[in-house]
A and B are shown apart, each in its own frame.
Chain A
């Protein structure tokens, strides 16, 4: 077993009755990385997290966290984990402060000064009762709870739900700082720009199966860009066909729309023969990569 793996699963499988939760999951999250776990709702992201935290038992396969089996040694694992659940539920009658004090009492090594610092940073009032807080403010309390004991591994299930953009940015910075200090992150999300922003590596999950695990940079290289090319004169679709990586080509008079996977070079070389008025492209975001990945898969099927 790879000693630098904080999380490792092998053929990890969970069925809920006949329904697949996750299937044959081979996952490795290395020490010190920020791993993004991406997929639409119901793909099995939360199921994976609940397996790692020993909330549910696998149907098959195996897993380790810090090299230990969560089913047998969960208590020694969980002291080093910070967790934000996908759905936040709290003891509503308590104030944020009392709630965090209680949670701190269940963990060890909480420095209350750090809690206060986090609260100031995320701009949340800890004296208000939790039931009076907005969804976003509850989320902030949950973030503090996950970070306050300075755990080695943070498992965050859709951590930025309900946060406004400014606080989201603050949260990204926090993740980056804590990561630089040595903590490993496992972050599930269906918000793609956020994964792109925070993560080094990403695993894409679909219907309980891990479709691909890739460096963010590599994915970006494989990314598909949408292009709009305006020529001075009318062009024929046949003139542009057969270029490497091009697809979904549509030509209307002097304007061509298409998508290009990977390098733009072959296309540029080809259109240099024509007089180009304008070339409009967008930075390929992960969303596009993601959607294309799904589409491709569907076409194969």
Chain B
């Protein structure tokens, strides 16, 4: 059967997708434009970062190497800008999928029909995947073209690998937002809790190198798996792909279980 709800959910985002394209391409262009000047002072920047307190550096800068072109893309674009934007999108869409429609009162349009609740969740999840894939393609294409202007060489397959890792990271958090929304029916709680989990797991991963007990649990953090194997250089780490696939599927199944029999506030 044709996934009408999935298609409809993506259709309603048409306008916002245009802004996402403009925004993402614009930001990539900006990063490319400042690259030459960053490269000139790469030495100084690296030294500056070296001098920062270790805790601060771990938490807010991460592994960065401004001297190498790949390091620049990896740290500036893929560790700072893109995860923030992609998580913003994924958590927004995930929390709107069920809870948003429930709060707006439009859920009855979908449910007063012969369509199963589990299918509504599945198609909404499909729309989340579709939206994230779309943004991922924009990023890959944007960077693939963008780096040509500044003479950075990154193989297309590595660009795809690191973007896929980003996609999986965002999908996990988006699905968590879907789960919390399906369970509570509250978009606010879904956004708030998911964001809290994201911040917490981000710091678990970031501070792991300098805090002993965090090092032990570092691997529960999706952010660890996001950069595991340094995909922009070495390609994807399949254990991490498996990790993302597992948590996303578990969240999805729990979403269906939570939503299937719940009293709806519509």
- Partner of A106 from B104, B113, B263, B266 at Cβ < 8 Å: B113
Give B78-129 interface residues, CB cut-off 8 Å to A.
Answer: 104-106, 108-116
Kindly state the separation between the CA atoms of A103 and B4 in the bound complex, as whole angstroms: 10
* Contact in complex: B110, A55 (CB < 8 Å): no
Interface residue A136 (Cβ < 8 Å from any Cβ of B) = no
Task: Give the most central of A79, A81, A87, A89: most B CB within 10 Å.
Answer: A89
Q: Is the CB of A53 within 8 A of B106?
A: no
A76, B4: Cβ atoms closer than 8 Å? no
- Give the docked Cα–Cα distance between A9 and B264 (Å): 20
B8 at the interface (CB under 8 A from A): yes
CA distance A85 to B16 in the complex (A): 29
Residues of A within 8 A of B104 (CB): 89
Q: What is the size, in residues, of chain B's interface with A at 8 Å between Cβ atoms?
A: 21
Q: Please give me the residue from chain B that is nearest to A51 by CB atom.
A: B263
Asked if B106 contacts A102 (CB within 8 A), the reply is: no
Kindly state whether residue B12 has any CB partner on chain A within 8 Å. Answer: yes
| Residues from chain A with Cβ under 8 Å of B108 in the complex | 53, 55, 83, 85, 89
Residues of A contacting B: mostly: loop
Interface string of A67-79 (1 = CB under 8 A from B): 0000000011011
- The listed residue (B5, B112, B261) touching A53 by CB distance below 8 A is B112
Q: Is A55 touching B113 in the complex (CB atoms < 8 A)?
A: no
In this assembly, does A112 line the interface, its C-beta being within 8 Å of a C-beta of chain B?
no
Known A55-B264, A56-B264, A93-B12: A107·B113 in contact at CB below 8 Å? yes
In the complex, are the beta carbons of B115 and A91 less than 8 A apart? Answer: no
Q: Which among B5, B106, B116 has the highest number of chain A CB atoms within 10 Å? A: B106
Interface size on A, residues (CB 8 A): 24
Looking at the assembled complex, report how far the CB atom of B11 sits from the nearest CB atom of chain A, in whole angstroms: 9
Given A55-B264, A89-B104, CB of A76 within 8 Å of CB of B112: no
- Identify which of B8, B109, B116, B266 contacts A55 (C-beta below 8 A): B266
**Total cross-chain contacts (CB, 8 A):** 61
Interface residue A272 (Cβ < 8 Å from any Cβ of B): no
A-chain residues with CB within 8 Å of residue B266 when the two chains form the complex: 50, 55, 85
Mark A99-139 against chain B: 1 for CB-CB distance below 8 A, else 0.
Answer: 00011011110000000000000000000000000000000
> Interface centre among B2, B104, B263, by most A CB within 10 Å?
B263
Q: Which residues of A contact B114 (CB under 8 A)?
A: 75-76, 78-79, 106-108
CB distance from A35 to the nearest CB of B (A): 19
Q: Which of A56, A78, A94 is in CB contact (< 8 Å) with B113?
A: A78
Give A9-54 interface residues, CB cut-off 8 Å to B: 50, 53
B261 is contacted by which of A57, A79, A103, A108 (Cβ under 8 Å)? A57
Partner of B111, one of A55, A76, A79, A93: A55
Which chain B residues in 33-79 approach chain A with CB under 8 Å? Answer: none
User: CB of A181 within 8 A of chain B?
Assistant: no
Known: A57-B261, A102-B8. A89 touches B105 (CB 8 A): yes
Min distance, Cβ B200 to any Cβ of chain A, angstroms: 32
Interface membership of A90, Cβ < 8 A: yes
A residues near B113, Cβ cutoff 8 Å: 78-79, 103, 106-107
CA distance A53 to B115 in the complex (A): 12
Given known contacts A85-B266, A91-B12, what 13 new A-B pairs fall within 8 Å (CB)?
A50-B264, A53-B111, A55-B263, A75-B115, A78-B112, A85-B105, A89-B105, A89-B108, A103-B109, A105-B2, A106-B5, A106-B110, A107-B113
Q: Which 8 A-B pairs have the closest CB atoms?
A: A89-B105, A79-B114, A106-B113, A56-B263, A83-B112, A105-B4, A75-B114, A55-B264
10 A-B Cβ contacts within 8 A?
A53-B108, A56-B263, A76-B114, A78-B111, A85-B112, A89-B108, A90-B106, A91-B106, A106-B113, A106-B115
